[in-house]
Chain A
Amino acid sequence: MPDRETVLVAWGVPEAARIIGVPYRTFRRWLMDGLVALTFHPRVQPQERARLTVADLAEAWCIADLRRAGVSMQAIRRILVRLDALQEREQRRLTDFKAVLVDMGGQVIGVHDDGVHERLQDGQVRIDLERLRRVLAKTPGEPVPSCWLDVLTLREGFACA
């Protein structure tokens, strides 16, 4: 769960699609399919105006970068499902790990600690989140309604064990 500071501002779906460089309709489909687990919207409802936090954007950015690097959608879904099992919780995020390594056999390793560089091999995709931060600095988001933070608090109560 992102800290409270990062959820104070959020971006609408058209704006987010523009930021990560994906067509709006494609991006909307990703959200409806639950490919990106959104902070405020566990499941995007029809007609709902979804908002994305910085963490959501980072996740979408990773997926978009993987797509641009030629990774198939099927492979991405497989990775996310395996990450799901690794993290043993329902909300999966690529960005929860320091690095995610996927070998030729499809084996997924989530790396929490440092020492990522020692484990990297040729041909792996590196995703630059720093570039996203630079883009976001130029496109500030809008503050979310304060009641949304209350909803988030309520949901934290459901999820934390």
Chain B
Amino acid sequence: MPETVADVLTVQRFADLFARVRRPFIVETPETPWRTLKNSLTDGMLTAHLLHGDRTFGVSLDKRHGSGRIALNIALEVDFGKREEPLAEVFPRILGEPGLAVVMAVHDAGQDLRIPETAWCVSWTGGRSLHFWLTPREPVPQETAYTVAQAIREGVDARIAERDLCVCHAWPTNGGTGKGMNIRLPWGRHQQTGQVARFVNLRDGALDLRDPFPDDVEYLETLERNQLDPEVLRTAATLARHLEPVRPVRPSRTRPAAAQATVESETAGERIERSLLMQTRRIARPCILNLLENGVPEGYRHDVALLLRSELVHCGLTPADAWLVYRRYMTACTPVWEEADARRDLEANWSKTDPALRHLCPGRGDPSPVTRYIHTHCCVGAETCGWRRAAAALVAWNDHLSVDATALYLTLCLMETGHCEEWAPLRPGDTIHTTAADLMTRCRLGRKDLERARADLREAGLVEYRPTGRPDGAGTSTGSRHSLYRRIIPVPDPPAKPDPKS
């Protein structure tokens, strides 16, 4: 094919999307496997990659910038077969149901971090792999890109593990100051199979291959249009960071031994929080999240499903969101609950589920066997539970509340779980009966500060507060007015852009 001006422009557009780092690069020919060259990848080489197919090139997705490093793209690789498997056997899996499941998993994992589906570009390598590309409009710090890539990788792995598939590589491959691996560029020839790489479409619930280069040049326009705003990646990185340390580390001075003994179960809950971000943040109850990880034996399945469902209704999840959580519970049960049965259970009972039936931690009296089972197998301890309830709500409100209001909210969460209390633990959103004097003592705040913090929380829609009709202080050690506090569940979203000067 003759190289025209249009080809040159196309090559430049292609390079602007995928080959933004020109040095060093990797090259593969029919005779020689991949090798790294230190010189710069030229437009001529890219033309050879796209048009002639006698050489295939790959590039790095990160480079040095100042004293740090920046990333130009994010990419994932998922292999659908072993190296020795013939392509004819692997290819149906790539475009078939397993491939579709992987694409959906990548979209879902991205959406957990608020990355839109349209930002993903899927490329078949010509061999046994699919590559998933995210291209930010401007470079982002390598650490940001790495955090996002790893969070998506974990999210995808959690979703496709049951199919014996996993993300083999996530670029950038290095989160520190080091250089990462190179990746094969799209649209080149796969030298082992002789096939030409092509982009993949998700259309009508199925995958199909787009035309090869140069017939598919107009797709570059779509890719350019769908480039990701770097701000979205920064938000995604922040979300990804928030997911990992779900349980805040407390100094040991106040940490009870019982809470320290539950590390294993907390880890399980945190895994769930990573894979179902938005839903679990709304649930914000560690025992329920552990339930999704551990499941229950056959005899408890339906009874616990009722508790789970009422929790989901209480948290304001839509049936579609609830199904994602329900499906997770379904697969965790022993034996696995059949999907059709679980879906029928959810759909038939959703509208008539009473949130008042939510799991109540055992206090006084004799708990039911189901309550006792959940408490024994899934409880993380009162204090840890309180901290995680607070963390789930406050992670989004961090920049919007005064430090006194944050402290008061944290105290209410800890009071809810009954930490250091004689009363039975409460569920998220249950009414807390206390006095202003009690709260002032717990928070070590003066009266004016407490009142201001309380007003802030009320104004933000996070807490309801109502004095009772007993102003005489009867029945309290401090002799002050009784009040009822209630955390509002579901926790509202903070305003989009707070104005610091308002």
Chain A residues contacting B147 (CB-CB under 8 Å) are 161
Q: Assuming the A-B contacts A33-B500, A145-B443, are A156 and B66 also in contact, with contact meaning beta carbons closer than 8 angstroms in the complex?
A: no
**Distance of A37 from chain B, by nearest CB (Å):** 11
Q: Is A159 part of the contact surface with B, judged by Cβ < 8 Å?
A: yes
The contact of A45 among B144, B391, B401, B410, by CB within 8 Å, is B401
Chain B residues contacting A44 (CB-CB under 8 Å) are 500
Chain B residues contacting A32 (CB-CB under 8 Å) are 500-501
Are B401 and A154 in contact (CB-based, < 8 A)? no
**Distance of B234 from chain A, by nearest CB (Å):** 9
Chain A residues contacting B391 (CB-CB under 8 Å) are 154, 157-158
Q: Assuming the A-B contacts A42-B398, A110-B67, are A159 and B248 also in contact, with contact meaning beta carbons closer than 8 angstroms in the complex?
A: no
- The size bracket of the interface on B is 35 or more
Are A154 and B141 in contact (CB-based, < 8 A)? no
Q: Assuming the A-B contacts A86-B67, A86-B68, A109-B67, are A157 and B443 also in contact, with contact meaning beta carbons closer than 8 angstroms in the complex?
A: no
Chain B residues contacting A43 (CB-CB under 8 Å) are 399-400, 498, 500
Are B241 and A161 in contact (CB-based, < 8 A)? yes
Are B245 and A157 in contact (CB-based, < 8 A)? yes
The contact of A150 among B245, B399, B407, B452, by CB within 8 Å, is B407
Q: Residue on A with the closest CB to B407?
A: A147
Q: Assuming the A-B contacts A147-B410, A154-B248, A161-B241, are A45 and B443 also in contact, with contact meaning beta carbons closer than 8 angstroms in the complex?
A: no
Q: How far is the CA of A146 from the CA of B253 in the complex (A)?
A: 13
Q: Is A148 part of the contact surface with B, judged by Cβ < 8 Å?
A: yes
Q: Is A85 part of the contact surface with B, judged by Cβ < 8 Å?
A: yes
Are B242 and A145 in contact (CB-based, < 8 A)? no
Q: Is B280 part of the contact surface with A, judged by Cβ < 8 Å?
A: no
Chain B residues contacting A155 (CB-CB under 8 Å) are 398
Q: Assuming the A-B contacts A42-B399, A85-B68, A145-B444, are A34 and B241 also in contact, with contact meaning beta carbons closer than 8 angstroms in the complex?
A: no
A to B contact number (C-beta, < 8 Å): 101
Are A151 and B67 in contact (CB-based, < 8 A)? no
Q: How far is the CA of A145 from the CA of B406 in the complex (A)?
A: 13
Q: How far is the CA of A145 from the CA of B407 in the complex (A)?
A: 10
Map CB proximity to A onto B322-350 as digits: 1 under 8 Å, 0 otherwise: 00000000000000000000000000000
Q: How far is the CA of A123 from the CA of B266 in the complex (A)?
A: 55
**Distance of B331 from chain A, by nearest CB (Å):** 28
Chain B residues contacting A88 (CB-CB under 8 Å) are 68, 141-144
Are B67 and A158 in contact (CB-based, < 8 A)? no
The contact of B387 among A46, A86, A110, A154, by CB within 8 Å, is A154
Q: Residue on A with the closest CB to B387?
A: A154
Q: Is B154 part of the contact surface with A, judged by Cβ < 8 Å?
A: no
**Distance of A147 from chain B, by nearest CB (Å):** 4
Q: How far is the CA of A33 from the CA of B502 in the complex (A)?
A: 11
**Distance of A9 from chain B, by nearest CB (Å):** 15
Q: Is A74 part of the contact surface with B, judged by Cβ < 8 Å?
A: no
**Distance of A81 from chain B, by nearest CB (Å):** 13
Q: Residue on A with the closest CB to B147?
A: A161
Q: Is A160 part of the contact surface with B, judged by Cβ < 8 Å?
A: yes
Are A160 and B245 in contact (CB-based, < 8 A)? yes
Q: How far is the CA of A4 from the CA of B500 in the complex (A)?
A: 28
Chain B residues contacting A146 (CB-CB under 8 Å) are 444
Q: How far is the CA of A47 from the CA of B451 in the complex (A)?
A: 13
Q: Is B354 part of the contact surface with A, judged by Cβ < 8 Å?
A: no
Q: Is B395 part of the contact surface with A, judged by Cβ < 8 Å?
A: yes
**Distance of A80 from chain B, by nearest CB (Å):** 15
The contact of B241 among A147, A154, A159, by CB within 8 Å, is A159
* Residues of chain A in range 72-90 having any CB-CB distance to chain B below 8 Å: 82, 85-86, 88, 90
Q: How far is the CA of A136 from the CA of B208 in the complex (A)?
A: 69
Q: Is B298 part of the contact surface with A, judged by Cβ < 8 Å?
A: no
Q: Is B370 part of the contact surface with A, judged by Cβ < 8 Å?
A: no
Q: How far is the CA of A90 from the CA of B231 in the complex (A)?
A: 13
* Residues of chain B in range 239-281 having any CB-CB distance to chain A below 8 Å: 240-242, 244-251
Q: Is B7 part of the contact surface with A, judged by Cβ < 8 Å?
A: no
Chain A residues contacting B501 (CB-CB under 8 Å) are 32
**Distance of A1 from chain B, by nearest CB (Å):** 12
**Distance of A96 from chain B, by nearest CB (Å):** 13
Q: Is B8 part of the contact surface with A, judged by Cβ < 8 Å?
A: no
Q: Is A130 part of the contact surface with B, judged by Cβ < 8 Å?
A: no
Q: How far is the CA of A108 from the CA of B66 in the complex (A)?
A: 8
**Distance of B139 from chain A, by nearest CB (Å):** 10
A-B interface, 10 closest residue pairs, ranked by CB to CB distance from nearest: A157-B248, A147-B407, A161-B241, A145-B444, A88-B141, A48-B402, A147-B443, A88-B143, A45-B402, A43-B399
Supply 4 further A-B pairs (C-beta < 8 A) apart from A153-B251, A161-B244: A42-B399, A45-B401, A151-B406, A161-B245
